[in-house]
Amino acid sequence: MFSIFPIKGYIDQIDGFYCAGIHAGLKPNGNNDLGFIYADTLCDVEAVFTRNKFQAAPLKHYQAYEKGFKTNFVLINSKNANAMTGQKGIDNINRLFAALKHDVTNPIMSSTGVIGNPLPVEKILAGANSFDLTSKDGEGLSKAIMTTDAYSKHCMYEVEVEKGKSFKIGAVAKGAGMINPNLATMLCFITTDANVPKEDMKPALEAAMHTTFNAISVDGDTSTNDTVLLLANKKSGVYAKEAFFEALRMVMHDMAMLMVADGEGAKKAVAFEVINAKTEQEAQTAAKALSNSLLVKTALFGEDPNFGRIASTIGASEITCSEDTLVISYNDVVVFEKGEILFNKEVEAQAGEVLKKEQYKIICDIGQGEASYTAYGCDLGYKYVEINADYRT
Amino acid sequence: MFSIFPIKGYIDQIDGFYCAGIHAGLKPNGNNDLGFIYADTLCDVEAVFTRNKFQAAPLKHYQAYEKGFKTNFVLINSKNANAMTGQKGIDNINRLFAALKHDVTNPIMSSTGVIGNPLPVEKILAGANSFDLTSKDGEGLSKAIMTTDAYSKHCMYEVEVEKGKSFKIGAVAKGAGMINPNLATMLCFITTDANVPKEDMKPALEAAMHTTFNAISVDGDTSTNDTVLLLANKKSGVYAKEAFFEALRMVMHDMAMLMVADGEGAKKAVAFEVINAKTEQEAQTAAKALSNSLLVKTALFGEDPNFGRIASTIGASEITCSEDTLVISYNDVVVFEKGEILFNKEVEAQAGEVLKKEQYKIICDIGQGEASYTAYGCDLGYKYVEINADYRT
């Protein structure tokens, strides 16, 4: 049996990984906007990218490497997504890396920010050339990748697979637009010293996606730049498949939950549990419809136990359902049960108490089968509009 | 050749139709909340209802009538949707009509408002019994059916099919939540004295739906109560199929456009024209994705020509597309053309001027075929959140 326990610090807690972030002149407010991850040995790398048809230039640049390539360097900038920039966008990355003074192998670029502006290559190059690749400044990196994020997102775990044998795995991430069927970019960089075989890396990533990042955004409705990157330097020499898969899932779940809670002004993180649906696909369809409904989100913001919007959203999602089998609860407060409205003054007050919490569940028992799925969402208030009305400036 | 010209007034402009609205005690602010449409002869009737799986009680009550039934009375209330109310909801409608003092045939009920509260039968009955069925108070009716609507929605046309031979057709409607993939109820009541054969009524309704109400909301993501009702008393004795289909489409288009412009705080009505898509289905998918994207809507609110969000939304919609064939324009200001960003200070200023208008087009030339579709949407600002955060009270 393995144990997974959280430890402090950033991804540079792992032996052999280095990182930092600086202000390279991209953000007008002087905040960090350029960062790197460096490894002192070559790493195996796997990635999951957006399904958006207009993948940004850095994603195309990555995919042009030969299958099975190794790398020791990731350069990340915010404020400019290098998306919708065509072949010029890719040329800019190649030009940048060609002029880099550091000796790195198969460098990877990752970008987030405004779509449709040319990459400011000279600023980024000057910044990147000023890096000290032996830095251990995880906080600096985590700030450099933020856009509308209200706080930095990172985690680190130590996984003991048997007494005295352990590996580490951790991540740094950005993403705060998961509040909606969204196009806000999600980036997540995961490092590990687990001795994971290359062939296990992609399956582990994909298995974890389903219940983590995919549960906080709508399939297919994704940014041009969404990226989850896993770097493994194998230095611990330790590996256990089950432990690694579970630890990776925990890391990605942590990052996903921090993104939900940081939903561009959101105050509440809500789990939409759909249970007893006919199929898992239907459970997922309904759960995501709930977590993405504007009318549900604004009711959560208003702390209004308006369960009619919950029911209507389920009905509109076109899954197999019937009023006669549906049960809706806020945490343990049942408000609708199989065709019966249980909503009196007392129940409304109890439900209202639940809605005042910062975290709670909305449970929808469809009563048509045994499949379930939980999606995570948040409320939507004035702050969201403020953040997104004039994002580019 | 026929001519269609607008005339003043409400649906009671048509000989044989009567209507009015009153305050029956449902809305706390004392505004009208109950209305009726009465015809002094039996009318043929057809309806299109929501695809939501949880159809409200009034929709089930209607569908329990025998196919081909005729009617002379429609009762409409706001503030309570009589949805998620099970068999009791239907029983309440039957109880109400059984106690009605007016002599009406196959009465129809229509409701909008909060989901999940029992219908206040006594208040509605008292109100309905106070009606004078010979009233001609279209304004009163139009106010009675409003929920979050900022203004009343109605139109009336006279259609001349040949010299001296004409019929009339008009509508009264409510709906203001078309701002989002929405659950806000849309009700539209259309009356005509055209001598339309019963068998033409449903096809005419369905043909018009595609480019009108379906273009302002997402298929399937509909309220529990959405209803379009067409009543024909045939009194003019005049009919021409082509003229009737076109006039009905105009009436429904008018109502749809008024709903878009009244998008719960919206200030801008925007046409999202997707042209040269591979198939019409793909054109529709992309156009609706644009009109429903939160990030696009908030950028419109901020008058920010952030065309990257337009591009990203098209890419996320998973239609056939490529950066190399895509052209994006705000009215006639081209900002992105086949892989080239045309966005300099001058173009940005021109695009900014377009975005300051109350009505404009965003044209996306996909360059993959010859199919097109236009969806209509609006901006999303603080007012939307305010209206929806605490709708029930």
Considering the domain architecture, whether residues B82 and B122 belong to the same structural domain is answered as yes
User: Which residues 81-110 of B have a C-beta within 8 angstroms of A?
Assistant: 81, 83-87
3-class secondary structure per residue, B99-116: CCCCCCCCCEEEECCECC
Considering the domain architecture, whether residues A132 and A274 belong to the same structural domain is answered as no
Considering the domain architecture, whether residues A315 and A358 belong to the same structural domain is answered as yes
Helix H or strand E segment including B206: helix B198-211
Considering the domain architecture, whether residues A27 and A162 belong to the same structural domain is answered as yes
Considering the domain architecture, whether residues A214 and A285 belong to the same structural domain is answered as no
**pLDDT-derived band of residue A183, with 50, 70 and 90 as boundaries?**
low
- State whether the Cα torsion A355-A294-A269-A113 is positive or negative: negative
Asked if A14 and A191 count as a contact pair (C-beta separation under 8 A), the reply is yes
Residues in chain B: 393
Considering the domain architecture, whether residues B55 and B33 belong to the same structural domain is answered as yes
Tokens for A249? Answer: 């899932």
CATH of residue B360's domain is: 3.10.20.340
Q: Is B318 on the interface with A (CB under 8 A)?
A: yes
Q: What is the residue-wise DSSP string for B337-379?
A: ETTEE---HHHHHHHHHHHHSSEEEEEEE--SSSEEEEEEEE-
pLDDT value at residue A391: 61
Tokens 């042009």 found at: A64
Considering the domain architecture, whether residues B216 and B279 belong to the same structural domain is answered as no
Selection from B258, B249, B153 nearest residue B216 by Cα: B258
DSSP structure class, residue B265: S
Q: Is A295 on the interface with B (CB under 8 A)?
A: yes
pLDDT value at residue B170: 97
3-class DSSP assignment, residue A177: coil
For range A340-359, the mean pLDDT? 91
Q: Is B219 on the interface with A (CB under 8 A)?
A: no
pLDDT value at residue B181: 43
The number of domains in chain B is: 2
Residue A279 is a catalytic residue? no
pLDDT value at residue B179: 47
pLDDT value at residue B368: 97
DSSP structure class, residue B230: E
Instruction: Quote the minimal CA–CA distance from B295 to chain A in Å.
Output: 7
Q: Does position A180 have pLDDT exceeding 70, yes or no?
A: no
Choose the final residue of a domain: B261, B293, B320: B261
For range A185-195, the mean pLDDT? 96
Considering the domain architecture, whether residues A241 and A305 belong to the same structural domain is answered as no
In the set B148, B185, B191, B224, the catalytic residue is B185
Asked if A209 and A171 count as a contact pair (C-beta separation under 8 A), the reply is no
Strands B327-330 and B371-378: unpaired
- Locate the chain A residue with the closest alpha carbon to B50: A316
Query: What is the span of the domain harbouring residue B383?
Result: 269-389
Considering the domain architecture, whether residues B300 and B215 belong to the same structural domain is answered as no
Instruction: Quote the minimal CA–CA distance from A233 to chain B in Å.
Output: 34
Phi/psi for A70 (5° steps) reads -110, 160
CA B211 to chain centre: 11
Instruction: Quote the minimal CA–CA distance from B243 to chain A in Å.
Output: 34
Helix H or strand E segment including B385: helix B382-389
Mutate to test the interface with A, among B50, B54, B325, B380 (most CBs of A within 10 A): B54
Whole-number Å distance between alpha carbons of A241 and A256: 22
Choose the final residue of a domain: A226, A261, A296: A261
Considering the domain architecture, whether residues A172 and A144 belong to the same structural domain is answered as yes
**Range in A11-20, A141-150, A237-246 with the lowest mean pLDDT:** A141-150
Q: What is the residue-wise DSSP string for A322-359?
A: -TTT-EEEETTEEEEETTEE---HHHHHHHHHHHHSSE
Residues in chain B closer than 8 A to A111 (CB atoms): none
Residues in chain B closer than 8 A to A368 (CB atoms): none
Choose the final residue of a domain: A261, A294, A315: A261
- State whether the Cα torsion A49-A55-A59-A64 is positive or negative: positive
Q: Which amino acid is at B230?
A: L
**pLDDT-derived band of residue A136, with 50, 70 and 90 as boundaries?**
very high
pLDDT value at residue A246: 95
Residues in chain B closer than 8 A to A298 (CB atoms): 384-385, 388-389
DSSP structure class, residue A207: H
Selection from A229, A306, A278 nearest residue A19 by Cα: A229
A374 to A74, A303, B289, B350: CA distances (angstroms)? 33, 21, 24, 45
Tokens 């007392």 found at: A346
Tokens 């219940």 found at: A211
Q: Is B336 on the interface with A (CB under 8 A)?
A: yes
Query: Inter-chain contact B181–A85, Cβ cutoff 8 Å?
Result: no
Instruction: Quote the minimal CA–CA distance from A249 to chain B in Å.
Output: 25
DSSP structure class, residue B12: G
Considering the domain architecture, whether residues B23 and B131 belong to the same structural domain is answered as yes
Average pLDDT over chain A, rounded to whole?
91
User: Which residues 158-217 of B have a C-beta within 8 angstroms of A?
Assistant: 177, 180-184
Tokens for B36? Answer: 């009726």
Whole-number Å distance between alpha carbons of B267 and B139: 24
Q: Is A219 on the interface with B (CB under 8 A)?
A: no
Contacts of A25 (CB under 8 A, 6+ apart): A33, A120, A123, A126, A127
**Of the candidates B116, B336, B343, which has its C-beta nearest A343's C-beta?**
B116
Beta-strand ranges (E) seen in A214-348 are 227-232, 269-277, 327-330, 333-337, 340-341
B346, with CB counted inside 10 A (0-12, 13-18, 19+), is exposed
B28, with CB counted inside 10 A (0-12, 13-18, 19+), is exposed
Q: Is A344 on the interface with B (CB under 8 A)?
A: no
Q: Is B264 annotated as a binding residue?
A: yes
Instruction: Quote the minimal CA–CA distance from B234 to chain A in Å.
Output: 36
Portion of chain A with pLDDT greater than 90, in percent: 72
Query: Inter-chain contact B316–A53, Cβ cutoff 8 Å?
Result: yes
Convert the pLDDT of each residue in A9-43 to its tens digit: 999 999 999 999 999 999 999 999 999 999 999 99
**Residues of chain B predicted below pLDDT 50:** 179-181
Query: Inter-chain contact A53–B313, Cβ cutoff 8 Å?
Result: no
Convert the pLDDT of each residue in B164-218 to its tens digit: 999 999 999 998 865 444 557 899 999 999 999 999 999 999 999 988 888 886 5
Considering the domain architecture, whether residues A248 and A135 belong to the same structural domain is answered as yes
Residues in chain A closer than 8 A to B319 (CB atoms): 53
Whole-number Å distance between alpha carbons of B312 and B304: 15
**Range in A211-215, A350-354, B21-25, B240-244 with the lowest mean pLDDT:** A211-215
Q: Is B308 on the interface with A (CB under 8 A)?
A: yes
CATH of residue B100's domain is: 3.60.70.12
Portion of chain B with pLDDT greater than 70, in percent: 95
3-class DSSP assignment, residue A54: coil
**Of the candidates A114, A118, A343, which has its C-beta nearest B308's C-beta?**
A114
Whole-number Å distance between alpha carbons of B26 and A183: 41
**pLDDT-derived band of residue A178, with 50, 70 and 90 as boundaries?**
low
pLDDT value at residue A222: 78
Query: Inter-chain contact B308–A115, Cβ cutoff 8 Å?
Result: yes
